[in-house]
Structure 1
Amino acid sequence: MNHPVPLPLEAPDTSFLTSGGAFVRRTVLPSGVRVLTEAMPGASSTSLGFWVGVGSRDERDGQYGSTHFLEHLLFKGTRTRSALDIAISFDSVGGEHNAATAKEYTCYYARVRDADVPMAVSVIGDMVTGSVLDDAAFDIERGVILEELAMAADDPADVAGEAFFAAAFDGHALGRPIGGTPESIRAVQRDEVLAHYREHYAPNGIVVTAAGAIDHDRFCELVETVFQGAPNAAPLARRTPQPVADPAIPKLSVVHRPTEQVSMLRGSQGLDLRDERRPVLSVLNAVLGGGMSSRLFQEVRERRGLAYAVSSFAPAYLDNGAFGVYAGCAPDNVAGVVEIVDAEFRRMVDDGITSDELRRAKGQIEGALTLSLEDSDARMTRLGRSELGTGEFTDLATALERVDRVTTDDVLELARDLLTRPTITSVVGAVQQDELAAAIGIGG
């Protein structure tokens, strides 16, 4: 396979063999539910997930935090199972089950022995389709979520990350925190969360994926049982891009806290999921801050000892993304670390990367990609993100080929675009905004 496989919504059945010998099948059920499986030879366990194409960015006024709130509530009981019944179902077979809310999707997932797949499909399917959102459970879980937000608020790195995204996507739904805020969680009412549930959890908006020891036809039968009685419908259209305007000026956000260490993020808006330069970005990211041999790790930590942790990151969404650097350092070192980050940005813009750095980055990326797909969870997740995101499946061989085609000129060209964009900086710790702004030459 040397090109992505399209996953058109109107195609009822698709199947293909991956480069590693795994067989992928996709079936659109009459209800509009999309089922994707990847059979892994030799596996004796299965990872499966029920995906809903709704995330925190899809919430309206009065609903902020509802997607994450709903994720919690779906574990609290259905018309036929209590919260304890759900927990016992997986504990009694040694299985794992959990959920994740992101900015663009929600996933309820499990990993079990192949013999326990029918149970996992039945239980998670019941959670997704039949939760009661009990009033008492709602009030209890509100307290749990407030504790979760409080825990995140005690982590300076989390706070710096939220401040970075709020500044990078100012005025856009991508800039909102996934879990909401303490104020929005205290204010949101059960009826609003219930309306969010009924609006977004229709069968034709749900994707079910599985990887490992799996028989596609039997798996489809199990999923059809979950949605028995649902009316025939076409799959829900995929998300429509809503691009974010580029920030016109650099931004600095400082949250003063009396901590021993400062958490700092510095970067800009990045590349979206559909951008053909993402393989180039992966190389740039690896060279700049993607490992212990990266430029920033070597310069900031190894040569100067200014930080324990330093790395770069590049999350992507359907219509935008971000790119930046994270560092944790003493308050007195923040300006120095920012100076080094900016110097490395300029060096990459002026000179790009060397052929030796390109070779090492490719080896790092290609090795990490290959190793990640030894895990059925990763393959199950790849299916869900492919279906809900770009609408195409990218095989490992295709991904490796794209990385292998990257040249030093490609990296230089991207650096001159990406690393010259208006810079966003978020800092949490014992620093003063005015002093830091003056030290790094940026307005507040």
Structure 2
Amino acid sequence: MAPSLVTPPVGFDVAGLRRTTLDNGLTVLSEEIPGVRSVAFGAFVQAGSIHEPRERMGVSHLLEHMVFKGTPTRTARQLSLEVETLGGSLDAYTTREYTSYQARVLDEHLDVATDVIADLVFRPLLRDADLALERNVVIEEIGMVEDTPDDLVFELHNELLWGSHPYGHAILGTRETVGALGTAELRALHERAYHPGRVVVAAAGRVEHDRLVESLVRSGWDREPRRDATPLATCPPTPQAPAYRHEPDRELTQTHVVFGSTTVPHADPRRYALSLVSMLLGGGMSSRLFQKVREEQGLAYAVHTFQSFHVDTGLHGVYVASAPETARRAADSVREELARLASESLPDEELEAGKRQLKGQITLSLESVTNRMYRAAGVELFGEPFRTLDDALALVERINPEDVRDVCAAFFAPEQQTVLSLGPKAVG
């Protein structure tokens, strides 16, 4: 079946990006990058943890593991060997919104990548005999998080911030929910989501678009049947009142603290100003928090900001870890910097320096073919226009003092933060 080109959606900027929709509904995006020898190729299944009911928490992640256990034509070992013996890499991960399967290979090995990932996505065996073993692997992964306080504190903070909404679910699931999952639940999810109408293919690097489509056809992507492509149901989270909770653990030698609040979704233009403010607050060694809490006060080794933007909401926050006797001082220092941002915003010179820093980070990040693949996939996953590097830099340059003042006042005040501490002593 020959692939057919379709008209791009309104707002789709085709400069540097090619897009094809196959007759069975599969969306294919690619960006050719001169001067490299590799290709990043990925399949993004539009099913993640926000689509899971609480009793099946972790099913998307468990299915991601199970597809690697074998297909009708490849054993589990063969799936990884075919890519790795060529010097490439094969990987997968689960997010809130989607599950990704990706390979990085030399351009001459693109056919291997498309064929192996087609096998993983569309033709996994999902055998009962494999489930017991892989369930144990995932439970061990959950155990690693439980034994790593600077991971666990984020899981606990998510629960406190989002309440019972799926954004508060653990992507890995819990020991109880994973233990209760069977192959019936895995097969049901695979049937519902792992088909062309809910899969986005993206590639970047030394890849010519027509050759990519031909490779997909040779690997059978076009022969997978079209099914219901209606997006999986989600519901926007209900805002929760700011809260504080302490999880005591006297065996830890530090108290780990996360501050955070909801922000804006991925499509909101304010995310550029939010990213800039977050970077200047705690995004590196020159940031306010690093200089104050670590360099000037010596209260912490690790202190940094974090953020994420989802389809219908967003999150920003601060993490700091300090000895029990100094944890309250470290937390108070974070609160002081948040209050200063909320009331004073950024001076003009710091804003201009921040623009230069953010533009540099964006430029450097786009020297990675994998990051360019993610950018291409984001056009379909988040419904945003494709932006060239110059477009992205122009958006940063247009951030003005009013934009920054608005986001600082709206999202950074300390009284608006939900706070979770984990360790021997509470921070109040």
Quickly name the TM-score band, shorter chain normalised: over 0.9
- Please give the alpha-carbon distance, in whole angstroms, between the structure 1 residues aligned to 2:137 and 2:277: 40
**How far 1:241 moved relative to its partner?**
6.6
Contact 1:75 1:127 in 2 (8 A): yes
1:214 to 193, 203, 207: 207
1:143 to 125, 136, 147: 136
Q: Mapping of 1:281-300 within 5 angstroms?
A: 281-300=274-293
Kindly tell me: are residues 257 and 104 of structure 1, through their superposed partners in 2, closer, same or farther at Cα, counting changes over 3 Å?
farther
**How far 1:394 moved relative to its partner?**
2.6
1:399 to 392, 405, 423: 392
**Amino acid in the other structure paired with 2:419:** T
Which residue number corresponds to residue 334 of structure 2?
Answer: 341
Q: Mapping of 1:305-320 within 5 angstroms?
A: 305-320=298-313
- Please give the alpha-carbon distance, in whole angstroms, between the structure 2 residues aligned to 1:391 and 1:199: 25
Which residue number corresponds to residue 31 of structure 1?
Answer: 24
- Please give the alpha-carbon distance, in whole angstroms, between the structure 1 residues aligned to 2:57 and 2:297: 43
SS in 1 for 2:74: coil
- Please give the alpha-carbon distance, in whole angstroms, between the structure 1 residues aligned to 2:380 and 2:153: 31
Which residue number corresponds to residue 423 of structure 2?
Answer: 429
1:376 to 347, 369, 384: 369
- Please give the alpha-carbon distance, in whole angstroms, between the structure 2 residues aligned to 1:241 and 1:85: 36
Contact 2:196 2:226 in 1 (8 A): no
**How far 1:242 moved relative to its partner?**
3.1
- Please give the alpha-carbon distance, in whole angstroms, between the structure 2 residues aligned to 1:12 and 1:418: 35
Which residue number corresponds to residue 81 of structure 2?
Answer: 88
- Please give the alpha-carbon distance, in whole angstroms, between the structure 2 residues aligned to 1:16 and 1:268: 33
- Is 1:182 aligned to residue 175 of structure 2? yes
- Please give the alpha-carbon distance, in whole angstroms, between the structure 2 residues aligned to 1:231 and 1:13: 23
**Amino acid in the other structure paired with 1:183:** E
- What TM-score, normalized by structure 1, do the two folds share? 0.90
1:385 to 378, 384, 402: 378
**How far 1:10 moved relative to its partner?**
6.9
Contact 1:12 1:29 in 2 (8 A): no
SS in 1 for 2:29: strand
Report the more deviating stretch, 289-298 or 370-379.
289-298
- Please give the alpha-carbon distance, in whole angstroms, between the structure 2 residues aligned to 1:394 and 1:238: 24
Contact 1:297 1:311 in 2 (8 A): yes
**How far 1:395 moved relative to its partner?**
2.4
**How far 1:162 moved relative to its partner?**
0.5
Which residue number corresponds to residue 358 of structure 2?
Answer: 365
| RMSD across aligned positions (CA) | 2.0
1:260 to 240, 253, 275: 253
- Is 1:272 aligned to residue 265 of structure 2? yes
Contact 1:387 1:393 in 2 (8 A): no
Which residue number corresponds to residue 295 of structure 2?
Answer: 302
Aligned residues: 421
Kindly tell me: are residues 239 and 374 of structure 1, through their superposed partners in 2, closer, same or farther at Cα, counting changes over 3 Å?
farther
Structure 1 stretches lacking a partner, 5+ long: 1-8
**Amino acid in the other structure paired with 2:418:** I
Kindly tell me: are residues 311 and 394 of structure 1, through their superposed partners in 2, closer, same or farther at Cα, counting changes over 3 Å?
same
2:165 to 142, 166, 172: 172
Give per-residue Cα distances to partners, 1:131-163, cap 9 Å, x unaligned. 011211111101111111111111101110001
**Amino acid in the other structure paired with 1:254:** E
Kindly tell me: are residues 17 and 202 of structure 1, through their superposed partners in 2, closer, same or farther at Cα, counting changes over 3 Å?
closer
- Please give the alpha-carbon distance, in whole angstroms, between the structure 2 residues aligned to 1:37 and 1:287: 33
Contact 2:44 2:200 in 1 (8 A): yes
Report the more deviating stretch, 398-407 or 45-54.
398-407
**Amino acid in the other structure paired with 1:415:** C
**Amino acid in the other structure paired with 1:393:** F
SS in 1 for 2:164: coil
- Please give the alpha-carbon distance, in whole angstroms, between the structure 1 residues aligned to 2:271 and 2:156: 24
Structure 2 stretches lacking a partner, 5+ long: none
2:154 to 161, 185, 210: 161
Give per-residue Cα distances to partners, 1:320-355, cap 9 Å, x unaligned. 111110111111122111211111111112211112
